[in-house]
């Protein structure tokens, strides 16, 4: 058995949740936020048999989109010690960040 941890953008999360239900794959969806952008994303915990890992990865790949966003980044100008400008920096997010981990035990009580 494996544990798939998938961090996806909120915009793709509902579609992923629905696809997993349609395919009879059990998952837990957590609300999370990125350490860099500090905006919301969704983390899926999926415990899955080894032979179905590829299927899960295909589904995640299918629903996850790469998007661009802009953040405001302050820069200090060297030539004026007090001057600061804000300029937009382009950041590409996703599609999905996925970890596949071995599972030592799985119990349902």
Instruction: For residue 94, state whether it binds ligand 2BA (rule: CB under 6 A).
Output: yes
How many residues does this entry show for the chain?
A: 109
The residue sitting closest to ligand 2BA, measured at its beta carbon, is: 34
Per-residue x/- track, 35-74, ligand 2BA (CB under 6 A): xxx---x---------------------------------
Whichever of 23 and 39 has its CB closer to ligand 2BA, that residue is: 39
In the complex, the residues that contact ligand 2BA under the rule CB under 6 A are: 7, 34-37, 41, 91-94, 97
């Amino acid at each position: 058995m494996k544990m798939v941890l998938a961090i996806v953008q909120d915009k793709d999360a509902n579609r992923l949740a629905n696809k997993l239900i349609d395919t009879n794959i059990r998952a837990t969806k957590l609300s999370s936020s990125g350490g860099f952008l500090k905006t919301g994303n969704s983390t899926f915990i999926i415990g899955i048999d080894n032979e179905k890992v590829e299927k899960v990865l295909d589904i995640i790949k299918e629903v996850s989109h790469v998007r661009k966003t802009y953040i405001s980044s302050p820069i200090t100008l060297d030539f004026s010690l007090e001057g600061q400008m804000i300029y937009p920096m382009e950041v590409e997010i996703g599609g999905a960040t996925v970890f596949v981990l071995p599972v030592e035990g799985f119990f349902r009580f």
